[in-house]
Amino acid sequence: MARRAQHVALVLSLNKRFDRKVIEGVTRFVHESGSWSVFLEDDPSAKIPDFSRGHFDGVIADLDDPRIPRQVAGLAMPVVGIGGIESDCALNLTVSTVGTHNRKIAELAADYLLRLGLRSFGYCGVPASTIDPWNRERQETFARQVEARGHTCSIFSARYKPSHSWEQLQEAIRAWLAPLPKPVGVLAANDVRARHVLEA
């Protein structure tokens, strides 16, 4: 008798590169093993399925969205959380987690830029929020690393801007970068913020 495929809900964001890579990996696994049937909501505004109605055997969810931990808390099925999960936060979750090592990312970036002989540093982040605790970890670690070597670290954290304010965001980043002594080593909070810096 053929074994029933496991029904797994992917509660991920298609506009995040990290999440898309997870989806690619899950898709490869499904093709190789054939043992999963995967649900992924097409409508981003309704990406969290109604777990009380659907029959799922497990969930892989991006926990950076603050709505999701509340939705998956107490589910009677395996849940794996992914994302830029803050280390201390991960210890308090009742689900298995696979996250980025934010402190290590910042330490490696600082070490690389310091080895280049740079003496001017900046961190281009996003505002502190419950959605982006990883940003604080990266910012604090990066600043601490360069300050321990006798340098200062300028911090920029404008909020994400809607498309009609794009020029204002770019101008704000240019205004932040302009007075920094050159050459300057900048760690951006994520790929999106790095693109903002490069285009400013």
Single-letter amino acid, residue 13: S
Tell me if 1 is assigned to some domain: no
Residues contacting residue 135 through CB under 8 Å, at least 6 positions apart: 84, 125, 126, 128, 157, 189, 190
DSSP 189: S
Q: How many Cα atoms sit within 13 Å of 97 on the Cβ side?
A: 21
Q: What are residue 9's phi and psi, to 5 degrees?
A: -90, 130
Residues 137 and 168 placed together within one structural domain of the fold = yes
Cα separation, 200 vs 197, in Å, equals 5
Whole-model pTM?
A: 0.74
Query: Residue 186: which CATH number?
Result: 3.40.50.2300
Q: Note the pLDDT of residue 48.
A: 78
Q: Note the pLDDT of residue 91.
A: 47
Residues 179 and 143 placed together within one structural domain of the fold = yes
Residue 190, number of CB atoms within 10 A of its CB: 20
- Tens-digit pLDDT profile for the chain (200 aa)? 556 788 999 998 887 788 889 999 999 999 898 889 898 876 656 677 877 777 899 999 888 777 787 788 778 889 898 876 654 444 456 778 888 889 999 999 999 999 999 999 999 998 776 556 788 899 999 999 999 999 999 999 876 555 568 788 889 999 999 999 999 999 999 888 898 999 98
Residues 80 and 133 placed together within one structural domain of the fold = no
Q: Which residue among 64, 99, 134 closes a domain?
A: 99
> How many structural domains compose the chain?
2
DSSP 44: G
Q: Which residue among 99, 118, 143 closes a domain?
A: 99
Q: Kindly state the tokens that stand for 33.
A: 């093993």
* CA-to-CA dists, residue 189 to 29, 112, 138, 158, angstroms: 30, 16, 7, 12
In 3D space, the residue among 192, 185, 190 whose CA is nearest the CA of residue 166 turns out to be 192
Residues 93 and 148 placed together within one structural domain of the fold = no
Domain that holds residue 140: 102-199
